[in-house]
Amino acid sequence: MLLVQLLTSLLLGASFNGPTTINPKVFIITMFTSELGAWTDIPEFNLFEQNITVPGFSPLFPDVHCTGDGSVCLLTTGEAEINAASTISSLLLSPSFNLTSTYFFITGIAGVNPKIGSIGDVTFAKYAVQVALQYEFDARQIPADFPTGYFPQDSLAPGQVPGHWYGTEVFEVNDALRQLAFDYAETATLNDTLAAQLARNLYANSTGYEAATQGPKVVLCDTATSDVYWSGDLLGEAFENTTQIFTNGSSVFCTSQQEDNATLSALMRGALFRLVDFARIIVMRTASDFDRQYSGESPLANLLGSHPGYEPSVLNLHLAGVKVVQGIVGEWDDKFAAGIQPTNYIGDVFGSLGGEPDFGPGSIFGGTGAVA
């Protein structure tokens, strides 16, 4: 019997049922070096007690890092949508992990809409919208009656509903879990700096941007994904409109980043085959810079100027995020092991996981989902 076990473990190595399979309670997802750095040398736990190389990860960030007991792990996807999707897909297919009861916690920095929030803020999204998945003209060739160069695919003009969806345009995550994460994050004392306060004050004279002048806070608002790193009030307004159209008016667009819909898309494909639970995803983005200029500033200066929100946004990833991680691990047996039942629709515009989306043209799977 002992020999059989020994042979089995040698043969299977790190296979799914093998002795080295890790069942994380929380998996922190970061996108680049600074976000990874936010979780290095922290007092609460050491994520570098185990390093697991996963085939398919970015050559810049080849390893998953975990605590010694495997309860908390972290990966870094690499930046933008292609890196995010391929890294998460590789994780889901790795035999080193059993992720069926894992909470996935996206923790990254982002641009922020000054109508909704400010630099240093910590945001939790219900909707992630892929705003740049559209037709586009160069600014010099935009038709005279178009307010922006972007308009939905298989439509005739901005403001119209897309006639054709790729399926990754919108993801909706568990709102009940989002509320719990918000409550944990609110117990944190957030970082702020004088330089960030001075940058906020520049928005004081800009009509409609009152939220930009207020110090770091925790906010419930949604996130937009685009590979293109954009700046300015015209694209800001165009993408507010896009998120409204794609979510039937339900989303509150506050942060912009380059990965989340890709990460969510890969997680959703895993959820279809029960590799992960799509009800166990938290999307947290802290605000590092304004997505558009204040009155009197140019969009170019907004993009290329110093970004004093960067320092508090990176620090707040850990300060707020660790409360969420500790909350989930600490209340695992009482609350989180069994899962937090969603009360909203979760998934994509196709209804792939079952149920009827509360945005878009309706489930293409008749409400039953893609996999019976």
Contact positions vs ligand NAG (CB under 6 A): 16-17, 23, 48-49, 51, 98, 100-101, 125, 127-130, 133, 147-148, 158-159, 161, 168-173, 191-193, 202, 204-205, 222-223, 225, 234, 237-238, 241, 246-248, 251, 260-261, 264, 283, 296, 315, 358-361
Minimal distance in Å, beta carbon 237 to ligand NAG? Answer: 4
Nearer to ligand NAG by Cβ, of 148 and 184: the residue is: 148
Least spacing, CB of residue 216 vs ligand NAG, in Å: 9
Nearer to ligand NAG by Cβ, of 251 and 325: the residue is 251
CB of 140 to ligand NAG, least distance (A): 16
Q: Tell me the closest approach of the beta carbon of residue 372 to ligand NAG, in angstroms.
A: 21
Looking up tokens 């901005």 gives 158
The least CB distance from residue 190 to ligand NAG, in Å, is 8
State which residue, 268 or 325, has the beta carbon closest to ligand NAG. 268
For residues 227 and 237, which CB has a smaller minimum distance to ligand NAG in the complex?
237
**Smaller CB separation from ligand NAG, 5 or 100:** 100
Q: Smallest distance from the beta carbon of 4 to ligand NAG, in angstroms?
A: 18
In terms of CB distance, is 19 or 330 closer to ligand NAG? 19
d(CA 5, CA 148): 64
Smallest distance from ligand NAG to CB 101, Å: 4
For ligand NAG, the closer of residues 234 and 272 by Cβ is: 234
Distance CA 217, CA 129 (A): 23
Distance CA 265, CA 341 (A): 21
- Using CB positions, name the residue nearest to ligand NAG: 128
- What is the rounded CA–CA span in Å between residue 27 and residue 66? 9
